[in-house]
Amino acid sequence: MHIHILGICGTFMGGIAALAREAGHKVTGCDANVYPPMSTQLESLGIELIEGFGAEQITLKPDLFVIGNVVKRGMPLMEAILNAGLPYTSGPQWLGEHLLRDKWVLAVAGTHGKTTTTSMLAWILEDAGFAPGFLVGGIPENFGVSARAPGTPRQDVASTSPFFVIEADEYDTAFFDKRSKFVHYRPRTAILNNLEFDHADIFADLSAIETQFHHLVRTVPGQGRVIVNGQEDSLQRVLDRGCWSEVELFAANDGWALGEVHADGFDVLFNGEPQGRLAWSLMGEHNAHNALAAIAAARHVGVTPQVAIEALGRFENVKRRMEIKGVVNDITVYDDFAHHPTAIATTVAGLRAKVGTQRILAVLEPRSNTMKLGTMKEALPGSLIDADRVFCYGANLGWDTAEALAPLGAKAQSFTELDRLIAAIVVEAQPGDQILVMSNGGFGGIHDKLLAALA
């Protein structure tokens, strides 16, 4: 089958492209504003990319068009598909029907930590010999790719693995299907990591997102398991609306919890009983909770906590999650995907715990749809309070970043030109500083430009 993917360079749709190619399909695709790491991954797979959404692409005559949620009515190619009555489907529906239907799906949902927790869980199963398939909204360093079909387990050379680990996004499926993506996955094991208000462009309030999470819970079979953050009132409200599966808590005393915290990790408890000590280099309590959720989910498919803990000791995190891009003149530049105020706050706090009194220069691009709308601008100063200096790039926004960050006083500066932003950072930076760049996009290649300017 030849499939042509519209919006192929998003992390999710790029993962589908990789899986489809691995399954033997011919894959082509189109998108705009392409940037790494997904563009690099697609090129390495030999997948042909077409810039833009021109109507002439229907002459490729694929068997099926797979539509990403960046596609809107009015785009020439989409209008041509509709006018010609050509077959199309959404990315999540194609994935659910063609690749997940016969699998034991382990889905990771939540406002924060989906990519990291999904990567942890996939790595635990891989390290334990289960050879899972996976689709992650980023590139786990342990694998080097964002998606892979199930392989051959160590204990069964006659068949491929039945397990598939997937990042379960609550964002809508497509312009013609406004349900959350994750309702298409039908998991047997579901992690509900946390739940806050986000995606203000498609959800009116937190209750609307809770409804979608309730729809996800409805798809988990009675013999399945829902693994839930015990500290989240919003998730308890989701469960109170109905749950027909076994529930297991983490970040809670009557479930999976953190024991004694050490400089290089922490002790893992289950119902108060020690399960082992996890030694690793990841920062922040949020990552410890991500680990608890992954250990719990892996246990559901037969991986002992001890094996899972040992595997996580070899976990190498995900690209763009506190990734060190370079060190120049004793100044370290990090790249992080944080774009929601809560994620920004936990990222800064994690770095602060690591570097102590060294200065943190936070560099932020409010690029997500929610941030562009200004819905959470009042929360930004509080999320950046632990940084020593704040540099914000506010081009193409409908609100004034300088006004929003005014509570931070003189330590915050705002810019609408990237070159001026970089110049200001270079003037401020000193040996020993930690420059934390946060954006969910390419940010104009700021990391390399900043490193070159610092040199």
Range of the domain at 158: 100-312
In a domain, 128, yes or no: yes
For residues 198 and 56, membership in a common domain is answered with no
Q: What is the mean pLDDT of the chain?
A: 92
In a domain, 318, yes or no: no
Q: Residue 375: which CATH number?
A: 3.90.190.20
Q: Is-cis flag, bond preceding 37, omega within 30? A: yes
Instruction: State the Cα–Cα distance between residues 144 and 335, nearest whole angstrom.
Output: 17
Last residue of a domain, one of 312, 346, 374: 312
Instruction: State the Cα–Cα distance between residues 213 and 227, nearest whole angstrom.
Output: 13
Instruction: State the Cα–Cα distance between residues 106 and 87, nearest whole angstrom.
Output: 29
In a domain, 266, yes or no: yes
For residues 438 and 304, membership in a common domain is answered with no
pLDDT band of residue 246 (cuts 50, 70, 90) is very high
For residues 145 and 269, membership in a common domain is answered with yes
In a domain, 142, yes or no: yes
Last residue of a domain, one of 67, 90, 113: 90
In a domain, 317, yes or no: no
Q: Residue 238: which CATH number?
A: 3.40.1190.10
17 vs 198 pLDDT, higher one: 17
For residues 299 and 411, membership in a common domain is answered with no
Number of H helices, E strands in the chain: 15, 23
Q: Which residues have a Cβ under 8 Å from the Cβ of 304 and sit 6 or more positions away?
A: none
For residues 254 and 230, membership in a common domain is answered with yes
For residues 37 and 145, membership in a common domain is answered with no
For residues 338 and 304, membership in a common domain is answered with no
In a domain, 95, yes or no: no
Among 61-65, 83-87, 122-126, 383-387, which is the least confidently predicted range?
383-387
The 3 state secondary structure assigned to 37-96 is CHHHHHHHCCCEEEECCCHHHHHHCCCEEEECCCCCCCCHHHHHHHHHCCCEEEHHHHHH
For residues 223 and 247, membership in a common domain is answered with yes
| pLDDT single digits (tens) 274-327 | 999 999 988 788 899 999 999 999 999 999 999 999 999 999 987 777 889 999
Instruction: State the Cα–Cα distance between residues 282 and 159, nearest whole angstrom.
Output: 35
For residues 364 and 220, membership in a common domain is answered with no
For residues 85 and 106, membership in a common domain is answered with no
Last residue of a domain, one of 312, 338, 364: 312
| pLDDT single digits (tens) 118-172 | 999 999 999 999 999 999 988 898 998 889 999 988 876 667 899 999 999 998 9
Closest CA to 166 of 203, 210, 242, 219: 219
Q: Which residues have a Cβ under 8 Å from the Cβ of 136 and sit 6 or more positions away?
A: 11, 15, 115, 118, 119, 122, 146, 147, 165, 167, 318
Q: Which long-range contacts (CB under 8 A, 24 or more apart) does 303-306 make?
A: 303/124, 303/125, 303/128, 303/130, 305/268, 305/270, 305/275, 305/276, 306/275, 306/276
For residues 240 and 354, membership in a common domain is answered with no
Tally of structural domains, the chain: 3
Residue 295: enclosing H or E segment and its boundaries? helix 285-300
| pLDDT single digits (tens) 28-45 | 999 997 666 667 778 888
For residues 357 and 265, membership in a common domain is answered with no
pTM of the model: 0.81
| pLDDT single digits (tens) 216-244 | 999 999 999 999 999 999 999 999 999 99
pLDDT at 145: 86
In a domain, 82, yes or no: yes
| pLDDT single digits (tens) 405-450 | 999 999 999 999 999 999 999 999 999 999 999 998 788 889 999 9
Instruction: State the Cα–Cα distance between residues 321 and 323, nearest whole angstrom.
Output: 5
- The owner of tokens 């027909």 is 244
Q: Residue 30: which CATH number?
A: 3.40.50.720
In a domain, 240, yes or no: yes
